[in-house]
Structure 1
Amino acid sequence: MPLTDQKTDQKTVAPDVRITRARAARAAVPLAGHAEFPSPVRRADPLTLLARQDTGRVPELRPLRYGRMAASPLACFRGAALPAAADLALTPRTGFTVQACGDAQLANFGLSTAQGRRLVFDFADFGETLPAPWEWDVKRLAASFEVTGRECGHPAAQRRRAVLAAVESYRLAMHDFARRTSLDIFFAPADARTLRVVAAHRLGPARRPAPGAHLTEIRDGHLRLAAGGPLVVPAGRLAGDGDPATLTDRLGAVLSRYRRTLGPARRALLDRYRLADAARTATGPGDAGTRCWVVLLVRTGTGDPLFLQLKEAGPSVLQEYTGAAVPGGPGRRVVAGQRRIQAIGDVFLGWARASGFGGGDREFHVRRLRDGRDAVDVTTMTPDILRAHARLCGWTVARAHARTGDALAIAAYLGSGPAFAEAVREFAVSCADQNERDHAALRQAIRLGRVSAAAGS
């Protein structure tokens, strides 16, 4: 059980009191205790947990999720956010809460461009964000580097260095943030040298197309979203979710409700655009089957495009294991969490509740669609590149936690040595071993017909 409920604002508590709490936490939960991974007899069955998430998802897309997860142990790991949360809930907690990403794995980080064309490395997915123990993000992150290193074929020694780099980067950054003011933390930039290494690998030397160019085509003299096989389907060609002929109108209604969550200046900016087209897209392994739409808006008079993503929001996978009360519904939860931990804000971020999709009300969070320029095959990463990503991801998680939690207490708990990193590395290895067994069990269930799976990239 948590040692503190953190109902008292950390800013009103004296530093020595917060350090005393951290020392008490370390006495109750020694650093070495974070090596613990739940035994098989304590774990919930992953396939049962995944099946529970199928309720309410688009029926024809459910098999795609399992087909993607069955492709490799890494894909299985990426899609298993709920089983991961169930495992983490069985591990020791220090009692210090932060706004957690909820699924802080390597695949959920990316590059974006800030004002002035400055590159920023940050979280790229916020669907599971929730107030939760800080350790859960760190352990999920560390395990993702062990699993990715195995997928890349890196030897054990190189995988160990990558995992330790992620956790040590978190620890060192948290000590740094513990000495800074809240404003300093909020605007802290990532290490420029590491960012250049990661950006060079993700973007490469080749000339990149204009943002969104790969999403569109000219049809009947108008800019439209380009179909991409079964994964990108224009709204007019879809069955299910009601009459396809009215789907664009219903999505327009979602946009109207979303518009009300924007401030006056942002509403005025959105009002310069009109809805031109919409298409359903398939998301990553964990979200496959939920409703996700790309909408193309064009500016009246000039035709300049704006791409928004309307993504269905549900309860965070962490919710049942934390008991956190989140007002306003899942869409608002995602938006509020994203605003708290994202380095660079999204002026089009908002949410909406709508009916007419699969029966009952659905929640959506809306954001500007990233252009995907930094899409990268992680299995091609060299050990040095993977380690650079680990340092950057660890720092990014620490900044989010320092912005929303007690950096001083967490830093004091972590201490000055590598004991925590070594313990979490052991956790990551055990987690990766179990993930391989879970992947094998999924493939076996597919072979036996207990789970329906469909191929899909």
Structure 2
Amino acid sequence: MSQPLDQQEKLGKTIRKTAPFETLGTFKPIKRSANKLMDQVRQILIPELLPERTQRMSESLFTFFRGTAELMEFDLAHQTNSPIHAITCGDAHVGNFGLFASPERHLLFDLNDFDEAGINPFEWDVKRLAVSVMLAAGEHDDFDQTPLPELLKDIGRSYRESMNAMFERTTLNRFYPINEVENLLNAIPDELQHSKKLKKFMEKAGKRDSEQVVRKFTTTKEDGTCLFNENAPRTKHVKDNVTKNIEDYLAAYRDTLQPDVNMLLSQFTVTDVVRHSVGVGSFGSRCYLVLLTSSDGSHLVLQIKEALPTRKLADRIPDEASAAFAKNEGKRIVYSQKILQSASDPFLGYFASSSRSYYVRQFRDMKASIDLSELDWEQFEAYAKTCAWILGTAHAQSPTAGMILGYVGHSEKFDAAIADWSQAYIEQVKGDYQAFKLYRLAKDAEQISKTN
């Protein structure tokens, strides 16, 4: 039985004494080998995709940061943290928010990546978002960096205001935030006056569906068979455990869906399966596209993604709730997504092979990400604050949210702590990036030379 809200808030305020904002905002440098931690992740990925993964991560400081959630998780685990845990995204960087369709076909804006989701101190998500805002802003040569420290404080402020706004609602109404784009534009006071670019991306997202994917990613043979186009090594027909047993795995996946969606899928048959790698951090994991065709000739494209273990450290002993939460990685990701998102893909489900876990979702259904490089400063500023607002609504779903509310309250000291820690951490990211380029590019070149 949960505590009354006033008691939770009181406890949250009390925690400020044992975990003061000043401590929360102080970054403690950690001695560790970035390349060793990254190599631990590489060991579970597909070897032939690793060189391209390296190239993607080498493009910029921001892309490197996106692909190395394990480094920041390590560092966060060794900081002085608040004792308030929540269900967190785990990788709430500014590029992991986007547009997608609700089951009712409304366009939503929300978190859209949950591979690292789990139970962690709530501020981990806020800090990762703030650091990513700094790095993404650094990609713009024409941005004046002077107002950036103030924007970092605004990340904390927008998060706090969102949490306070959520608790003006009843418990049941907090469960139905529904982040429809138009409603969201009206919900955040004075923050989205520069929304033309966002509306352009809305229109683009609304045109994406399975038929559009089929036109772009497939070729119809003379006999009428529709097959995915190859672009090796990124997109490639393979014979492995998943493709050989796709029918059995899809049957197991369907058992995790609502009965109406399960019945809908019974009207489709598998036409083709291809391994298709995406992203930066997940590039090299086992990802697939499945082309399904109905009796009327229409199509549905599902994406299967390997659910990698969260990048927790051996010296970090998870509490009982965390351990239970992560027993099945696909289940962990799906459940976290359903909790944190205002509405989720009805095709979201999971299955497991004998040695690996996977989750499944519809591919590119009215999905689009905001191209941060196309935003001017005012638009970027508004976008960053919007992401922080969304993060607050997501965290408000956790049963500990009342304590978070009491802890952050209306205190600008929380905002300053997030800004201070994030600015100090940037130097750690820069050092890791340089070490990565010196070590990994040389290693990959050596490997390619041996292969040839």
**TM-score of the pair, normalised by structure 2:** 0.87
- 2:335 matched to 1:341? no
TM-superposed deviation, 1:203: 4.3
Instruction: Find out whether 1:283 has 2:278 as its counterpart.
Output: yes
Q: What does 1:124-135 align with in structure 2 at a 5 Å threshold?
A: 124-135=112-123
Q: Which residue of 1 aligns with 2:189?
A: none
Q: Which of 255, 258, 268 is 1:263 aligned to?
A: 258
Asked if the contact 1:203/1:373 (under 8 Å) is kept, the reply is no
For residue 50 of structure 1, report the CA deviation from its aligned partner.
Answer: 0.8
Among 220, 225, 228, the residue aligned to 2:228? 225
Given residue 155 of structure 2, which amino acid in structure 1 is its aligned partner?
A: A
The alpha-carbon distance between structure 1 residues 373 and 346, as it changes in their structure 2 partners (threshold 3 A), is: closer
CA shift for structure 1 position 187 = 1.4
Alignment of 1:31-180 (within 5 A): 31-39=21-29, 42-153=30-141, 154-180=143-169
Q: Say which SS state the counterpart of residue 146 (structure 2) adopts.
A: helix
Match of 2:16 among 18, 26, 34: 26
* Structure 2 CA distance for partners of 1:372 and 1:414, relative to 1, 3 Å: same
> CA 1:447 to 1:102, structure 2 compared with 1: closer, same or farther past 3 Å?
closer
Out of 391, 409, 417, the residue aligned to residue 415 of structure 1 is: 409
| Alignment deviations for residues 123-180 of structure 1 (CA, whole Å, 9 cap, x no partner) | 1111111111111011011111011001123222232343233221110011122232
- Give the C-alpha shift of residue 254 in structure 1: 1.8
- What is the CA distance between 1:27 and its match in structure 2? 0.7
Alignment of 1:325-336 (within 5 A): 325-327=323-325, 328-336=327-335
Q: After alignment, is 96-105 or 328-337 more displaced?
A: 328-337
Distance 1:339 1:182 in 2: 17
Q: Distance in 2 between matches of 1:34 and 1:317?
A: 22
1:94-117 superposed Cα distances (whole Å, 9 cap, x missing partner): 211211001111111110122554
State the match for 2:218 in structure 1: 216
Q: Equivalents in 2 of 1:206, 1:105: separation in Å?
A: 21
CA deviations over 1:168-226 (Å, ceiling 9, x no partner): 11100111222321221121244224495563253468995654242333233233223
Q: Distance in 2 between matches of 1:287 and 1:392?
A: 25
Contact 2:228 2:272 (8 Å CA) reproduced: yes
| 8 A Cα contact 2:98 2:370, kept in partner | no
Q: Secondary structure at the match of 1:403?
A: coil
Residue 394 (structure 1) aligned to one of 388, 391, 394: 388
Q: Which structure 1 segments of 5+ residues have no match? A: 1-8, 356-360
Match of 1:185 in 2: 174
Distance 1:445 1:334, change over 3 A: same
Correspondence for 2:5: 15
Q: Give the match's secondary structure for 1:107.
A: coil
CA RMSD after TM alignment:
2.5
* Structure 2 stretches lacking a partner, 5+ long: 187-191
Pick one of 269, 293, 303 that aligns with 1:274: 269
Larger displacement relative to structure 2 (28-37 or 200-209) = 200-209
Contact between 1:313 and 1:365, CA under 8 Å: does it hold in 2? yes
Moved more, 132-141 or 425-434: 425-434
Match of 2:424 among 415, 430, 433: 430
What amino acid is aligned across from residue 219 of structure 2 in structure 1?
E
Name the amino acid aligned to 2:147.
Answer: Q
Equivalent position of 1:249 in the other structure? 244
Identity %: 28
- 2:269 is paired with a residue whose SS is strand
Question: Contact between 2:107 and 2:366, CA under 8 Å: does it hold in 1?
Answer: no
| Match of residue 303 from structure 1 | 297
CA distance, structure 1, for counterparts of residue 124 and residue 324 of structure 2: 19
Distance 2:170 2:425 in 1: 36
Q: Distance in 2 between matches of 1:447 and 1:80?
A: 16
Once residues 61 and 297 of structure 1 are traced to their aligned partners in structure 2, the CA distance between those partners, rounded to angstroms, is: 26
CA contact (8 A) 2:86 2:121 kept: yes
Q: Is the 8 A contact 2:98 2:367 kept in 1?
A: no
Distance 1:130 1:198, change over 3 A: farther
**Which amino acid letter does the alignment assign opposite residue 147 of structure 1?**
L
Q: Which amino acid in structure 2 is aligned with residue 58 of structure 1? A: I
Q: Distance in 1 between matches of 2:111 and 2:205?
A: 24
Q: Is residue 118–residue 332 contact of structure 2 (8 Å, CA) maintained in 1?
A: yes
Quote the Cα distance in structure 1 between the aligned partners of 2:446 and 2:123. Answer: 34
The question of whether the paired residues in 1 share the 8 Å contact of 2:49 and 2:284 is answered with yes
Residue-by-residue CA offset, 1:47-73 (whole Å, 9 max, x unaligned):
111101122321111222222111110
Shift of 1:379: 2.6
Further displaced range: 222-231 or 276-285: 222-231
In the aligned structure 2, how far is the partner of 1:285 from the partner of 1:446? Answer: 15
- After alignment, is 396-405 or 176-185 more displaced? 176-185
